[in-house]
């Protein structure tokens, strides 16, 4: 005869397996989706071990019982770790979508973002260490009884019982604090749904303390996962993505539509200038322009991000045109320590920054203008790629820096398509620096 506890474990295990099959059919390209998949997998292992332990259990001795207990502990703490990681990725994805470019219009904005990213990274690391240590402690207790001892059919507290409970409690509290701290980025409704996983099992634990003999903690965990899976992951996220996708597409179409005539006008102005100064160079410029015009227009019309390697290649042709115009007065330096084939940017997002640097540099100086372009990771935060365009012009007062239509266009496309930002800094006597920040995934 199947006891109610055995049946409930079987139902939880079967439900987790159904979630796994349903989830594996869909796309799991986002890191948050992969973490949620691992959450379900961990819970399935824990429920399966609980179910098997409730059926087996003739005398709670032997290798099988030990293995089942180990899988229960490993499944539980893996679930806690992947849930924390899942929350971190949800927060990071929302921050990329909602980051306002105004936060980056001063040097403190960049520092604040780096500190928040580092805090989220540290949360994942510390949770992983705590889950590992707690798993080792509970598995060790199977053999030594330092956390709990089995006397007949009853578990009694061991000398390190409170320490064994502290690990899980600290993790759950950190998850609740994390959700409360970033409730604005996540949204009140989503925060309320996501917080069910730590809260409902706590309620179940309290009920178990008040009514000895009742075991509902695992069922509470399954109920929480069911709520998140149904109301957040499948409904809320699906609706948001559909709405954001439609809005994003229309806004990108508008942006790229503005970008095409703006870009063509600037290049044709360069050729027009050469027609008056040097017709032979103008002819050469037309040849260079025709070599890459088709690729640029196709990229703008597709509205999809391109690799930084593609952007650099098109930038090379543009700079050839400018070199024809300015000759030795224009010096270009390029340095990169990143894999440009894996970094995505909106098409023609770096070129307007270089164009802006050249135009203002040449207007303010009669001699040589040096433009330096750098692509690198930020020191202390390898998950943020930084692209810098520097000139050695006379610069501006910080309060005189203005974002024209071209820079606002780049700024908005970076935010919508890549979760990136654009920041312009300048000071008298030191020139101007245009900075693009592109957040990258925490782990690859």
Q: Looking at the structure, do residues 239 and 282 belong to the same domain, yes or no?
A: no
The range of the structural domain enclosing residue 75 comes to 4-243
Q: Note if the pTM is more than 0.85.
A: no
Assign residue 381 the CATH number of its domain. Answer: 3.30.565.10
Question: So what's the pLDDT on residue 129?
Answer: 92
Question: So what's the pLDDT on residue 78?
Answer: 92
164 located within any domain: yes
Answer with the one of 243, 263, 295 that is the final residue of a domain.
Answer: 243
Residue with tokens 């796994």: 20
Question: What SS3 string covers the chain?
Answer: CCCHHHHHHHHHHHHHHHHHHHHHHCCCCCHHHHHHHHHHHHHHHHHHHHHHHHHCCCCCCCHHHHHHHHHHHHHHHHHHHHHHHHHHHHHHHHHHHHCCHHHHCCHHHHHHHHHHHHHHHHHHHHHHHHHHHHHHHHHHHHHHCCCEEEECCEEEECCCHHHHHHHHHHHHHHHHHHHHHCHHHHCHHHHHHHCHHHHHHHHHHHHHHHCCCCCCHHHHHHHHHHHHHHHHHHHHHHHHHHHHHHHHHHHHHHHHHHHHHHHHHHHHHHHHHHHHHCHHHHHHHHHHHHHHHHHHHHHHHHCCCEEHHHHHHHHHHHHHHHHHHHHHHEEEEEEECCCCCCCEECCCCCHHHHHHHHHHHHHHCCCCEEEEEEEEEECCEEEEEEEEEEECCCCCCHHHCCCCHHHHHHHHHHHHHHCCEEEEEEECCCEEEEEEEEECCCCC
- Residue ranges for the chain with pLDDT beneath 70: 1-7, 22-29, 56-62, 95-115, 150-155, 209, 212-215, 232-266, 292, 294-303, 363-366, 379-380, 440-444
Assign residue 158 the CATH number of its domain. Answer: 1.20.1070
Q: Looking at the structure, do residues 236 and 318 belong to the same domain, yes or no?
A: no
Between the CA atoms of 74, 75, 78 and 84, what dihedral angle is there, to the nearest 10 degrees? -140
> 380-398: per-residue pLDDT in tens?
677 788 999 998 877 777 7
Question: Which neighbouring-strand residues pair with 436?
Answer: 387, 422
Is the distance from CB of 420 to CB of 369 less than 8 angstroms?
A: no
Token pair for 161: 């019982």
Structural domains of the chain, count: 2
209 located within any domain: yes
Q: Looking at the structure, do residues 215 and 349 belong to the same domain, yes or no?
A: no
Q: Looking at the structure, do residues 236 and 306 belong to the same domain, yes or no?
A: no
273 located within any domain: no
Q: Looking at the structure, do residues 218 and 110 belong to the same domain, yes or no?
A: yes
Q: Looking at the structure, do residues 80 and 197 belong to the same domain, yes or no?
A: yes
d(CA 433, CA 354) in angstroms, rounded, equals: 10
Q: Looking at the structure, do residues 58 and 196 belong to the same domain, yes or no?
A: yes
270 located within any domain: no
Q: Looking at the structure, do residues 204 and 343 belong to the same domain, yes or no?
A: no
Q: Looking at the structure, do residues 233 and 378 belong to the same domain, yes or no?
A: no
Could you tell me which of 307, 423, 326, 407 has the C-alpha nearest to residue 370? 326
Q: Looking at the structure, do residues 177 and 304 belong to the same domain, yes or no?
A: no
Q: Looking at the structure, do residues 166 and 84 belong to the same domain, yes or no?
A: yes
> 334-368: per-residue pLDDT in tens?
998 888 888 888 888 888 888 888 877 776 656 78
Q: Looking at the structure, do residues 95 and 232 belong to the same domain, yes or no?
A: yes
């Amino acid at each position: 005869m199947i006891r109610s506890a055995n049946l409930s474990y079987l139902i939880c295990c079967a439900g987790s397996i159904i979630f796994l099959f349903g989830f594996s059919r869909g796309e799991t390209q986002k890191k948050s989706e992969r973490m949620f998949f691992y959450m379900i997998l961990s819970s399935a292992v824990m429920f399966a071990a609980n179910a098997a332990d409730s059926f087996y259990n003739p005398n709670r001795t032997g290798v099988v019982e030990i293995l089942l207990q180990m899988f229960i502990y490993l499944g539980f703490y893996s679930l806690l770790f992947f849930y924390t990681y899942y929350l971190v990725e949800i927060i990071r994805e929302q921050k990329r979508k909602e980051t306002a470019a105004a936060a980056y219009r001063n040097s403190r904005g960049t520092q604040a973002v780096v500190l928040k990213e580092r805090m989220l990274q540290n949360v994942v690391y510390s949770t992983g260490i705590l889950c590992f240590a707690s798993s080792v402690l509970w598995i060790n207790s199977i053999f030594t009884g330092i956390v709990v001892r089995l006397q007949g059919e009853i578990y009694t507290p061991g000398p390190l019982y409170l320490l064994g409970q502290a690990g899980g409690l600290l993790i759950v509290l950190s998850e609740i604090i994390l959700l409360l701290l970033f409730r604005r980025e996540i949204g009140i409704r989503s925060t309320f749904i996501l917080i069910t996983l730590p809260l409902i099992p706590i309620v179940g634990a309290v009920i178990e303390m008040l009514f000895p003999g009742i075991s509902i903690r695992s069922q509470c965990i399954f109920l929480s996962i069911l709520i998140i899976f149904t109301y957040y992951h499948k409904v809320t996220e699906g609706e948001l993505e559909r709405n954001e996708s439609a809005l994003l597409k229309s806004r990108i179409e508008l942006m790229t539509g503005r970008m095409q005539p703006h870009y063509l006008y600037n290049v044709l102005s360069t050729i027009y200038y050469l027609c008056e100064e040097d017709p032979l160079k103008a002819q050469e410029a037309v040849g260079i322009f025709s070599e890459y015009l088709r690729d640029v227009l196709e990229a703008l019309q597709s509205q999809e991000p391109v690799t930084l390697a593609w952007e650099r290649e098109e930038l090379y042709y543009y700079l050839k045109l400018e070199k024809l115009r300015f000759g030795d007065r224009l010096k270009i330096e390029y340095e990169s320590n990143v894999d440009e084939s894996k970094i995505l940017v909106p098409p023609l997002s770096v070129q307007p920054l270089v164009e802006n640097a050249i135009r203002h540099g040449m207007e303010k100086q009669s001699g040589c203008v040096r433009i330096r372009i750098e692509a690198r990771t930020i020191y202390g935060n390898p998950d943020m790629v930084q692209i810098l365009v520097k000139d050695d012009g006379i610069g501006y007062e910080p309060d005189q820096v203005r974002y024209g239509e071209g820079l606002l266009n780049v700024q908005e496309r970076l935010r919508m398509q890549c979760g990136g930002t654009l920041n312009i800094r300048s000071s008298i006597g030191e020139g101007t620096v245009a900075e693009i920040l592109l957040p990258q995934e925490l782990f690859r």
